[in-house]
Amino acid sequence: MSKGLGTTVGRSSRRRVLRLAGGGITMAALGAGLTGCEDELATGGEGSTPPPRSASPEDGKVPEDGRAPEPLWTKSTSAQTYGDNDELVAVDGVVIASGDPLAAFDGATGEERWSLPGGAVPGAPLLLGDGTLYLESGKYDGSVAGYVPGSGKEAWRSRLGKEYRQPRPVAVDAEQVYVIAEILEADGSSHTNVIAALNSGTGKVAWKEQRDLGTQQNGVHAAVRGRYLVYTDFKNNLTVRDTATGKQVWTQKTTKTSYGPFVVHQDLVIVPQGQRLQAFALSDGSEKWSVRAEEFTTFREPTLLEDVLYIADSGRTLWAVEPGTGKKIWQSTALKDAGGQVPRQFVKVGGTLYGATDLDKQGGVHAFDAKGGGLRWTFNDKSGDYHAWLVATDGKRVFALHGKKLHALPA
């Protein structure tokens, strides 16, 4: 399970702005500026994305005329998301979006299966491990909870301790849940934070280690591979710890801040850093391979699916890369030719790769031929909502979340 974000030349991405907004900047101050910060380089102008079909596809099949399918169902949700990939999950026959109340919808029908008031902190990750959904408590009571995804029933709960505030799960494996929490001072303030492991069976603290002064609780993305816990943060740090003891194995500064997901594959951690995509050895941090995008373009977030790494760059080129070597499998400029927006999250069903983009317009969910990157269609609900699109799949359907609207598309 893994949890950076590329930027357009000379400015921060809008997704970064929205995530900061979730941390305290009011949306009222941002509203007017967000609609005007689309640039023509990213969108390709008006009219380049074909409109959805006016009629639903026969028997839920995807149409073959290059137009997007109609949703199988659409539901209004309580979703409160900030654009991270782990804010929408599909598991055990349900699809769940971060929000309050936390609600699960039946993947086939869209009917609500369960609802949990105060179940999760909006924007916090929905972490799945060993059949359990792990959440930072939306009651802000210092606890971390685990639920059965199909029913919403509580299965596990743990507290790090009264001297810590807001423990937030960042990664999970078969034995432990890894959290980051603020360390409270006597006056109730906090200047440091701790990273800790909670036993996923008993809830007991396995280990805890104070992080360096100046590091932050928020903005952390993490993944676990065997004995290695890997994470990045807003301070340009790439850090690896031992999962058994919490001791730091190595840390190094990255050339670009990582705002979003990276990829862990076998003994490598693969991180986008502006114009470069770099792979480092988990054991010692040595660089194993590097791929460079064209001048003035930056890589977005990578996704690893069926041992292929998919990633787009700001020049609207889609890449498929061998994660072990960095060797290019294919490159596609189909998105650039169509004037579509750059995807930053991917899921795959059969021979189709689905990519979710940031804000409107000319974005939404793109469907690509997974063998060569050809663009098949683009789905957009035309709502103009400022939220990033998110996608998840149960292998039969593709779920697309845009603001408060959750769509189920035939796969």
**Furthest-apart CA atoms within the chain: distance in Å:** 65
Residue 86: φ, ψ to 5°:
-90, 20
Give the integer Cα–Cα distance in Å for 168 and 183. Answer: 13
Closest among 362, 353, 273, 340 to 308, alpha carbons compared: 353
Q: Which helix (H) or strand (E) holds 41?
A: helix 40-43
Query: What integer pLDDT is reported at residue 360 of this predicted model?
Result: 76
Judge if pTM exceeds 0.95: no
> 229, exposed or middle or buried, with CB in 10 Å at 0-12, 13-18, 19+?
buried
> What per-residue confidence (pLDDT) applies to 61?
55
* b/e map 235-248, b = 16+ CB within 10 Å: eebbbbbebeebee
| Residue (of 172, 91, 79) closest to 134 by Cα position | 172
Average confidence (pLDDT) per 10 residues, the chain, 411 residues: 34 40 35 34 36 42 75 95 90 94 96 91 87 88 92 94 89 96 83 93 95 77 96 89 97 75 95 94 97 94 97 97 98 95 96 93 94 97 92 98 96 93
Beta-carbon count within 10 A of 218 CB: 17
pLDDT, residue 120, reads 80
d(C-alpha 139, C-alpha 152), whole Å: 16
Euclidean distance between CA atoms 160 and 180, whole angstroms: 10
Query: Would you tell me the crossing angle of helices 14-22 and 27-35 to the nearest 10 degrees?
Result: 170
Contact 227, 242 (CB under 8 A): yes
Closest CA to 139 of 169, 186, 101, 98: 101
Q: Which residues pair with 183 in a beta bridge?
A: 164, 192
Which of 123, 124, 143, 146 shows the shortest CA–CA distance to 133?
A: 146
Distance CA 366, CA 346 (A): 9
Q: How far apart are CA 241 and CA 176, in angstroms?
A: 14
Residue 216 falls in which region: left (phi positive, over 0), alpha (psi -120 to 50) or beta: beta
Q: Of 150, 179, 148, which Cα lies nearest the Cα of 164?
A: 179
Residue 363 in contact with residue 380, Cβ under 8 Å?
yes
Token pair for 115: 């609802």
- List, in sequence order, every beta strand (DSSP E) within 256-342: 263-265, 268-273, 276-281, 287-292, 303-305, 308-312, 318-321, 328-332
User: How many other C-beta atoms are found inside a 10 Å radius of the C-beta of residue 39?
Assistant: 10
Is residue 293 within 8 A of residue 302, CB to CB? The reply is no
Contacts of 93 (CB under 8 A, 6+ apart): 106, 107, 108, 150, 394
Instruction: State the number of CA atoms in the 13 A half-sphere of 267 facing the CB.
Output: 8
> What is the identity of the amino acid at 267?
D
